[in-house]
Amino acid sequence: MSKIKIAILVSGQGRGSNMQAIIDACRDGRISGEVVAVIGVKPDAPAIERAAAAGVRTFILNPKDFADPADYDRELLSTLASVQADLICLAGYMRKLGRPIIDAYRNRIMNIHPALIPMFFGQGMYGHHVHEAAIERGVKVSGCTVHFVDEDYDTGPIILQTVVPVEDDDTPDTLAARVLVEEHKTYVQAIQLFAEGRLVVEGRRVRVLPR
């Protein structure tokens, strides 16, 4: 099977643990792909340092350096084209992507969210806010969702979800840690399904074709 080319977008604060899981899975063959670029907003971000240490090509594009957001979109598109990305994976990337990027890569951009969408999702629901909200609401299960990215926050077609229990004595930290373990596995599985050409988007539903 030919390998897909993956570009990963990370944020300024990103730890890069999902990014690392994707890089590792490409290298040990669980994903038929290669991470051809990690694109971040600042050179000293932990995720960027981690990508460089792993020998992956990094690019720094800071939206704040562009007076016009359209110029940032153009630069991002040209970077993605220069590495011939087949799939874009958001891994802790906090911004909403511009319309030209969504249009150019429709159903070829994935994101991971640390809850079961449509619970605890949307603008402002990121990081610890998600797990605090889950515990505060008293849900008995949470989990993670890999979805394709559309014009809005966390609203695109859902590819895979994994459920974890919420324990009575959970704190946001303990719940986040339990979810994160599943994020790494679920993201890798979703990307491999894409690489195998087994994801078919029908409206808001994603059908997973059998082998």
Q: Which residues bind ligand GRF (CB under 6 A)?
A: 14-19, 47, 91-92, 112-114, 183
Helices then strands, counting H and E runs in the chain, come out as 6, 9
Q: Which residues contact 13 (CB under 8 A, 6 or more apart)?
A: 45, 46, 92
C-beta of 181: minimal distance to ligand GRF in Å?
11
Q: Which residues contact 190 (CB under 8 A, 6 or more apart)?
A: 110, 146, 159, 160, 199
Q: Which spans in the chain are helix H?
A: 17-27, 46-53, 69-82, 99-104, 128-137, 172-195
Residue in 113, 131, 147, 184 annotated catalytic: 113
Active site residue 184: no
C-beta of 211: minimal distance to ligand GRF in Å?
28
Closer by beta carbon to ligand GRF, 24 or else 196: 24
Closer by beta carbon to ligand GRF, 53 or else 200: 53
Closer by beta carbon to ligand GRF, 92 or else 156: 92
C-beta of 69: minimal distance to ligand GRF in Å?
21
Closer by beta carbon to ligand GRF, 18 or else 107: 18
C-beta of 120: minimal distance to ligand GRF in Å?
11
Which are the catalytic amino acids? 113
